[in-house]
Structure 1
Amino acid sequence: MKDVIIIGVGPAGISAAIYLKRAGMNPLVIGQDFGTLKSYPGKIENYYGFESPISGDTLIENGIKQAKNLKIDILMDSVISLDQVDDYFTVKTIKHKFSSKIIILATGKRRLSLSIPGFNQFKGKGISFCATCDGYFFRRKKIAIIGCGAYMLNELAYLSQINKDITVFTNGHELNQDVDFPVVNQKIVKFLGTNKLSHIETDDGKHYEVQGTFVAIGTPSSIDFATKLGVVIEDNNISVNQNYQTNIEGLFAIGDVIGGKLQIAKAVYDGMMVADNISQYIKKDKK
């Protein structure tokens, strides 16, 4: 059982870990995706203390090195699921499984969009991003799942418990694990339908009938984790109170995923404040 598990290795998550360490706790930080800073096209020039501009990925790498120098446990791995069991949470990565009574979501916002005709048209009208949330509504229907990695396999395992008519679309990528369902490796060129999604067209001209499609590309975001656990989401932001705690006891969120100014300074501030609030939360819980 870990003191605190932080999902996300960006400025918010690493800052929270540093302040928690200073408060006498031993947080575990898990993450592999550097988020939007990794792909930031320019140099960061407005962050205090840097005489010269710095790239986003270098800033994140420096933060991780700083945390490691403080003997903070950093696991560079992808979190593929977060579940709640009784009064604690279980975090599953590609290679490991951990538990804690306190989780901090700090992955930032995943700006996932497929540049495929019909994708935006059928979001919420046959295209879903949450197997746990929406899978039940598509039981006994013909469904598809899009993806090729560990996250997709985890979602597929859940869907297979309630539906046996599933087709896996890798969208042109290789699937390195055998599955007990049909696999289509061709690229998707169009989502078709009228009021709801009805077909997927691939680049070899074939049309596949589907009544629902689940997107599980890359790794899940904080919004994905929160949605599955029943966290209140408002305007695509995780809703938190003044202590950065969600409506679920022990589950906190910081950084871009809670909204506000999308700035590094704000993310670092969130990390500092959530660490202080968690320290108070633990003291109160022990009384």
Structure 2
Amino acid sequence: MSETRHTRLLIIGSGPAGYTAAVYGTRAMLEPILVQGIQPGGQLTITTEVENWPGDTEVQGPELMVRMEEHARAAGTEIIGDHIGSLNLSSRPFTAKGESGTTYTADAVILATGAQAKWLGLPSEETFKGFGVSACATCDGFFFRGQEIVVIGGGNTAVEEALFLTNFASKVTLIHRRDELRAEKILQNRLLKHPRIETLWHHTLEEVVGSDNPRGVTGVKVRDVRDGTVSELPCTGVFVAIGHAPASELVVDQLETHNGGYVYTKPDSTSTSIDGVFAAGDITDHIFRQAVTSAGMGCMAALEAERFLASLEEPVDEVAAE
């Protein structure tokens, strides 16, 4: 049965940015509603060990997100397991329609829908996600100290990941389907001169090879695009670095975006191109993409939403008639 719910603050998304915004928004007495989306908890729910969350030497990604959700609920946030299918930002109150049939109206909106790493779509890639296959060198590179790993891609992301991984790996092989990189020249120069990086040109990833007990990567099969021959390389880690896609489908035609769909926010702010709409986390961050920076932006968004909503309630000065 369809219904309409109104809230002063609607938070769309349930990763670190969304849950942090919920805690701060609730403490500001805004009584926010948070709609979780199709993947409650976001990308951390498909991550295993997290060792860079302040206060936890090590924590499982899904466990961390459960704790964040519990914190938001304990603070008093109303959390709804729905997915927003459309969002109208043309007038206030803003209107969001959930796939459950519920319509949500709000005086302010925080977008925290995140982003998703782009994957190759291989069945073996899916099998070993979190068990040697990753899309985040900053998150998982630490686990491959002294090991041989491969990086897939040829743009800035791939080159930056390969260079970063040399801090841990004994050898990094960059696999690229062409004979030249798309990355910035300065990054290319650093990569090509690095003694622990080898570049395998004209190849694509065909299959991730590994064991089941315990589950882990032992190598990759790669295909030479020139003659179709397949060969195998030993490695224990595979980093897919072909970019990220922000989950901005709801607003890409309504808000100003940049860098392939990331929502633009004003300098030192989470404010977007529409007053009363704020963006936090990976939907706006194409540089850092870390849980801790997303949480920080969620805090900023809630504080800015609080100020915005307070400004709507300020009385208009009356000019006394003479």
Verify the 8 A CA contact 2:36 2:81 in the aligned structure 1.
yes
TM-score (norm 1): 0.59
Match of 2:115 in 1: 109
Shift in Å at residue 221 of structure 1? 6.3
Q: Given residue 109 of structure 2, which amino acid in structure 1 is its aligned partner? A: I
Match of 1:5 in 2: 10
Tell me, in whole angstroms, the C-alpha distance in 2 between the residues paired with 1:113 and 1:83. Answer: 30
1:223 aligns with 2:248: yes
Verify the 8 A CA contact 2:114 2:283 in the aligned structure 1.
yes
Verify the 8 A CA contact 2:92 2:106 in the aligned structure 1.
no
C-alpha distance after superposition, 1:123-182 (max 9, x if no partner): xxxxxxxxxxxxxxxxxxxxxxxxxxxxxxxxxxxxxxxxxxxxxxxxxxxxxxxxxxxx
1:35 pairs, out of 28, 35, 42, with: 42
C-alpha distance after superposition, 1:95-148 (max 9, x if no partner): 1111012111101113456749xxxxxxxxxxxxxxxxxxxxxxxxxxxxxxxx
Tell me, in whole angstroms, the C-alpha distance in 2 between the residues paired with 1:225 and 1:67. Answer: 24
Shift in Å at residue 39 of structure 1? 1.5
1:252 aligns with 2:273: no
Q: Given residue 92 of structure 1, which amino acid in structure 2 is its aligned partner? A: K
Verify the 8 A CA contact 2:9 2:106 in the aligned structure 1.
yes
Tell me, in whole angstroms, the C-alpha distance in 2 between the residues paired with 1:114 and 1:47. Answer: 28
Verify the 8 A CA contact 1:11 1:268 in the aligned structure 2.
yes
Tell me, in whole angstroms, the C-alpha distance in 2 between the residues paired with 1:113 and 1:238. Answer: 22
Question: Any idea what SS the aligned residue of 1:270 has?
Answer: helix
Mark the CA change 1:15 to 1:30 in structure 2 (over 3 Å): closer, same or farther.
Answer: same
2:85 pairs, out of 80, 84, 97, with: 80
Q: How many residues align?
A: 182
Match of 2:69 in 1: 64
Verify the 8 A CA contact 1:227 1:233 in the aligned structure 2.
no
Verify the 8 A CA contact 1:104 1:251 in the aligned structure 2.
yes
Verify the 8 A CA contact 1:81 1:92 in the aligned structure 2.
yes
Gaps of 5+ in 1: 117-219
Question: Any idea what SS the aligned residue of 1:4 has?
Answer: strand
Shift in Å at residue 233 of structure 1? 3.0
Question: Any idea what SS the aligned residue of 2:253 has?
Answer: helix
Tell me, in whole angstroms, the C-alpha distance in 1 between the residues paired with 2:301 and 2:246. Answer: 19
Shift in Å at residue 60 of structure 1? 0.9
Question: Any idea what SS the aligned residue of 2:73 has?
Answer: helix
2:26 pairs, out of 21, 30, 43, with: 21
Q: Percent identity?
A: 25
Tell me, in whole angstroms, the C-alpha distance in 2 between the residues paired with 1:230 and 1:17. Answer: 22
Q: Given residue 80 of structure 1, which amino acid in structure 2 is its aligned partner? A: G
Match of 1:238 in 2: 263
Structure of higher CA gyration radius: 2
Verify the 8 A CA contact 1:5 1:104 in the aligned structure 2.
yes
Tell me, in whole angstroms, the C-alpha distance in 2 between the residues paired with 1:17 and 1:114. Answer: 34
TM-score (norm 2): 0.53
Tell me, in whole angstroms, the C-alpha distance in 1 between the residues paired with 2:103 and 2:246. Answer: 18
Match of 1:216 in 2: none
Verify the 8 A CA contact 2:95 2:104 in the aligned structure 1.
yes
Compare the two structures and name the one with the higher strand fraction.
Answer: 2
Shift in Å at residue 89 of structure 1? 1.4
Mark the CA change 1:11 to 1:230 in structure 2 (over 3 Å): closer, same or farther.
Answer: closer
Gaps of 5+ in 2: 1-5, 123-244, 315-322
Shift in Å at residue 56 of structure 1? 1.2
Mark the CA change 1:88 to 1:110 in structure 2 (over 3 Å): closer, same or farther.
Answer: farther
Tell me, in whole angstroms, the C-alpha distance in 2 between the residues paired with 1:235 and 1:228. Answer: 13
Question: Any idea what SS the aligned residue of 1:282 has?
Answer: helix
Tell me, in whole angstroms, the C-alpha distance in 2 between the residues paired with 1:114 and 1:46. Answer: 27
Q: Given residue 278 of structure 1, which amino acid in structure 2 is its aligned partner? A: A
Q: Given residue 38 of structure 1, which amino acid in structure 2 is its aligned partner? A: T
